[in-house]
Amino acid sequence: MTATGFETHDHSACISTALAAAETCCTEHRLQFTKVRRRVLEILLHEHRALGAYDILAVLAGEGLGAQPPVAYRALEFLVSNGFAHKIEKLNAYIACSLPGQDHSPVFMICRSCQTVVEAQTVLPAGQLAQVARDAGFDIERAVIEAEGTCPACRNSKDAASDAPGTKA
Amino acid sequence: MTATGFETHDHSACISTALAAAETCCTEHRLQFTKVRRRVLEILLHEHRALGAYDILAVLAGEGLGAQPPVAYRALEFLVSNGFAHKIEKLNAYIACSLPGQDHSPVFMICRSCQTVVEAQTVLPAGQLAQVARDAGFDIERAVIEAEGTCPACRNSKDAASDAPGTKA
DNA sequence: ATCTGTAATGTAATACTATATCAACCCGCA
DNA sequence: TGCGGGTTGATATAGTATTACATTACAGAT
């Protein structure tokens, strides 16, 4: 059990569910869910945080699945372009999608303190961003929305720490 | 005259206005608006698109103002942290702020076709993003919002092209 | 069963982006 | 005059990503 959303959950179940979903989706769309691609998705799912391409590459290399950058980048590119993973631009890192299969425009909340990344959804054609774009005559195709801040758990422990002066942050 | 917003405007005026605003702001806050920092801001203002740190460095080097990466990165860090410029995460590139002085949470519209970047403002505590964060108990400190798409000019020329079959895209 | 074209992989080299470190300098000020 | 903070110079290196090309695996056609 580790955290997603910002709550705890059954982690191994969420990994196998996501993996199965990806498998199904690839079959449906005639995509090849190869060994490396599958393994990279597994690695991402195993953490609920963003991993750098070279972190992933290190794991792959340790398993004899390829040691050169393109191996990792190609798998990541496949996963990202088919919606099984996302890139967090702010971190130059990658994370498994928490709602694979459906076409969506994700928004991420990145905790500055524990590095946990949580994915949520917005409706792109609604909201201020869309209004601004409409006003400018700009046609939005994709949007990167990444919020940096403090997650509930870290905020609480920070509050607790400041309640106890003498405990250094 | 080049484009900002997505309209044309008096470019040299916008450069000198922004430069003057930065100067004033630095004086007020006891910040040193040094030669390199000023020059980097000028370079950014001169284009209404995002420039990579090494693009800027190349210009500086050509002028004898420093040829090593830290020169550019230090100046950019100063400009970004004081709100005179922003980093476009999606592009790993930097752009002059179009509303310097005021504390703000910018949103960018990046044209995939001509690379023009336009800055607009949103009210962070409003909108879907804030709602999502509130629901999750997440405390947003900063947000990166970058929309990719097609600007009015490029969309029009694209439409014109597709009206004339035989003209290759 | 073999051929063939496309997609995926292996591997090396390199490009691009960013930071760490430490010494030197400048300037305002006690 | 000497101290201290912030800025700059310079070297090295870390971290992220792509190009290029040879090779292999595989699905579909013959």
Buried b (16+ CB within 10 A) or exposed e, B118-136: bbbebebeebbbbebbeeb
Q: What is the pLDDT of residues B96-137, one digit of tens each?
A: 998 876 777 899 999 988 889 999 988 776 778 888 899 999
d(CA A35, CA A19): 12
Beta bridge partner(s), residue B55:
none
Q: Which ranges of chain B have pLDDT less than 70?
A: 1-8, 101, 125, 158-169
Interchain contact B140–A (C-beta under 8 A): yes
What is the chain B residue with the closest CA to A130? B147
What range defines the domain where residue A117 resides? 3-163
pLDDT confidence of residue A101: 66
User: Residue B56 domain-assigned?
Assistant: yes
- pLDDT tens per residue across span A36-86: 999 999 999 998 789 999 999 999 999 988 889 999 999 999 999 999 999
Q: Which pair of structure tokens corresponds to residue A49?
A: 């945080």
**Residue linked to tokens 């930065």:** B22
Does a structural domain hold residue A82? yes
Confirm whether B8 is domain-assigned.
Answer: yes
Check residue B55 and give its pLDDT: 96
Backbone angles phi, psi at A139, to 5 degrees: -105, 105
Q: How far is CA A56 from CA A11, A14, A36, A52, in A?
A: 19, 20, 11, 7
Considering the domain boundaries, does residue A169 fall inside one? no
Domain contains A17: yes
Residue whose C-alpha is closest to residue B23's, from B9, B42, B44, B43:
B42
What the block records as the tokens of B21 is: 């605003």
Whole-number Å distance between alpha carbons of A26 and B33: 55
Q: How many CA atoms lie within 13 A of A24 on its CB side?
A: 9
Residue of B88, B138, B156, B157 to mutate when probing chain A, most A C-beta within 10 A: B138
Q: Which single residue is written with the structure tokens 């088919």?
A: A82
Within a domain: residue B169? no
Structure tokens that stand for A153 in this block = 């758990």
Higher local confidence (pLDDT), A111 or A166: A111
Structure tokens of A127? 């909201």
**Beta-carbon separation of A118 and B127 below 8 A:** no
Higher pLDDT, A153 or A128: A153
Residues shown for chain B: 169
A138–B149 CB contact, under 8 Å: yes
Nearest residue to A122 via CA among B157, B136, B139, B111 = B136
B21 in any annotated domain = yes
Number of domains chain B contains: 1
A12: CATH:
1.10.10.10
Contact status of A130 with chain B (Cβ, < 8 Å): no
B168 in any annotated domain: no
